[in-house]
Structure 1
Amino acid sequence: MPLITVQYTSHRNAPSLKADIASAISKLSADILHKDPKVTAVIVQSVDAADWFAGGQSLAEQKLASVWVDIHISDGTNSKDEKADFIAATFKRMDELLGPLHNESYIYVHDARADAYGFGGLTQERRYIAGKLAAAPRSAAA
């Protein structure tokens, strides 16, 4: 159930670019972080290259793209290696879609505490507990 926000700047202007970004990031979170695409929310926002600065110059001046990917997941649901793989694969895929990317492009994986993060009015901790209770074997009456 991650919430993923992608802000980007690029000189590429395909009509389907935002949908392509959303699809790619959702697929990466499913393939690498094992997140269910049915409960993954993605927000994609374009930023003008003249408004994005890296190393003291706008990306319009540098003629480079950039991306900020911010993904919130429940703490403890992914290993350090999975998160590192996600960051590397996301950088590579965004470079393919938007590129070439400025090296100052960021992917941030937020490990949110299960008791402080949720959707549909329930925390992830409450969902976990409810799932455990539903799966608990019933003892036979003596």
Structure 2
Amino acid sequence: MPFIRVTVSDPDLSPTRRQALAEGLTDLAVSALGKSAARTTVHVNPVPAEHFFIAGRPVLDATGAHVEASITAGTNSADERARFISGAYALLRETLGVLPPVAGVALYELHPESYGYNGVTQLDHYRSAPQTAKAKAEAVG
């Protein structure tokens, strides 16, 4: 159940670009991390350019951008996380154009007891989910 925030230093970010970021990041959560599109939330947060700083100076000659994604700890390999980070950066460049030299992507891995949705922790969702035939066979014997 990823929650993805993308902050962009463009308060006039067009609806088309917002939609492209939301769809692209959702698709990436599915393809790179194996997450469910139906449970992926993307929050696009456009901010004024003068509110986005690198090295203490506002980013005015490029579109500043930063992606943060919260995922459940232990559910993805290092390679999957690397694919998400690489893909998210490529999406930012494709959608926003010129980026500053420091356009970041961060994955926050949250413990399943400390993260959830609809008032239920991820751990409890996992406990209540039907097991696959393989998992049942492994648990039995």
- Bigger Rg, which one: 1
Identical columns (%)? 28
Counterparts of 2:77 and 2:40, CA distance in 1? 19
Q: 1:97 aligns with which of 95, 98, 116?
A: 95
> How many residue pairs align between the two structures?
135
CA apart distance, 1:115: 0.8
Give the 4+ runs in structure 1 shifted more than 3 A: 10-15, 132-137
- Aligned-residue CA RMSD in angstroms? 2.1
Q: Counterparts in 2 of 1:1-142, with a 5 A limit?
A: 1-10=1-10, 13-60=13-60, 63-132=61-130
- Give the letter aligned to residue 75 of structure 1: A
Q: What amino acid does structure 2 have at the position aligned with 1:17? A: R
Q: Structure 1 residues 15 and 2, CA, compared in 2 at 3 Å: closer, same or farther?
A: closer
Q: Which runs of 5+ in 2 are unaligned?
A: none
TM-score, with structure 2 as normaliser = 0.86
Structure 1 gap segments, 5+ residues each: 138-142
